[in-house]
Amino acid sequence: MASDFDEQTLSAVAWLNRNDVDMSCYRLTPYKLNEDVYFYVEKILPISSHSDYYVNIMDKLANIKINKEKNL
């Protein structure tokens, strides 16, 4: 449970789910109404299609290389 998840965490959980590891991600959003605090709980993973959460390692490496070349 967290207020948000980075893409690496979502990618890892999606991969684990696909490999028969039962794991879920929930987003919690707190709301205060008068003196009471309520949480909106949203299940992020698992979903029916995990492909949206996979991180393409080659894209990441290409971005790192481009950023390094810009700094030269």
- Three-state secondary structure of the chain: CECCCCHHHHHHHHHHHHCCCCCCEEEEEEEEECCEEEEEEEEEECCCCCHHHCCCHHHHHHHHHHHHHHHC
Strand partners, 43: 26
Predicted confidence at residue 21, as pLDDT, reads 92
Provide the residue ranges of all domains of the chain, joining segments of one domain with +.
Answer: 7-71
Per residue of the chain (72 residues), what is the pLDDT tens digit? 777 888 898 889 888 988 999 888 998 999 999 999 999 998 888 875 556 556 666 666 666 656 656 665
pTM to 2 decimal places: 0.55
Residues 6+ apart with CB under 8 A from 40: 28, 29, 31
Of 38, 57, 37, 8, nearest to 25 by C-alpha is 8
